[in-house]
Amino acid sequence: MVQVASTFLLQGILLFISSWTLKWSWAWLFMITQITILVINYLVLPRELMAERGRKKKDVKKWDKTLMTIALIPFFSVYILSGLDYRFKWSPILNTGAHILGLIMLFLGTMLFTWSMVSNKFFSTVVRIQDDRGHSLAAGGPYRYLRHPGYTGYIVGAIATPLALGSVYALTMSSLIIIIFIIRTYLEDQTLLSELEGYKEYTQKVKYRLIPFIW
């Protein structure tokens, strides 16, 4: 939770420093939405899962370390670019409905991410087979419909953030995040197929990774 709160604080710092103003109402509403999500997660997530997500891991796939290191660049760039966009008025002014839609999408996408974590006690920040915790297949909750629902929720949030903040240009960074997570989804799927017992049979029942009826 300290890690998550620190990331949240850094998001706010990047937004308000790059915009060079505290008088940015949509940024404040964005931060309030994030605080609400943070509180909900604290209340509903199992402490065992929090401990797993917070501790240092040794058996992480090398390709995942590389992907997630690269992903940090567009992740933080979304906030910097959104702030600069607001400061220098690069994007056309979006109507109030577009901002509200972005905030709603952010909340719903993150709640799908949260539901996935609640439904899967092995939902880690990295790709690894958790033999130390008796890793087993998760097939309940949103996993009845998608193989990687948490990533779906994360991608929705990535699209929603620039929309909520009113930055068309920041969507370029969101696009990079989406590409990285599509690659990660494919590689994680291959890892689970080869290393997690029962996953192959699961894929025959749940055919779609991220988007129902598409992929």
Domain borders along the chain are 2-53+62-205
Judged against a pLDDT cut of 90, whether residue 25 lies above it is answered with yes
pLDDT at 78: 96
Judged against a pLDDT cut of 80, whether residue 138 lies above it is answered with yes
Closest CA to 168 of 159, 176, 177: 159
Q: Which fold has domain 2-53+62-205?
A: Four Helix Bundle (Hemerythrin (Met), subunit A) (1.20.120)
Please give the residue that has the higher pLDDT: either 138 or 99. Answer: 99
pLDDT classification of 50: cutoffs 50, 70, 90: confident
Using only the alpha carbons of the chain, give its radius of gyration: 18
Phi–psi pair at 134, nearest 5 degrees: 70, 50
CB under 8 Å to 69, separation ≥6 — which residues?
none
Judged against a pLDDT cut of 80, whether residue 175 lies above it is answered with yes
Helix and strand totals (H; E) in the chain: 8, 0
Judged against a pLDDT cut of 80, whether residue 154 lies above it is answered with yes
Judged against a pLDDT cut of 80, whether residue 54 lies above it is answered with no
pLDDT classification of 114: cutoffs 50, 70, 90: very high
DSSP symbol at 214 = T
Read off the pLDDT of each residue in 10-18 and give the average, rounded to a whole number: 95
pLDDT classification of 79: cutoffs 50, 70, 90: very high
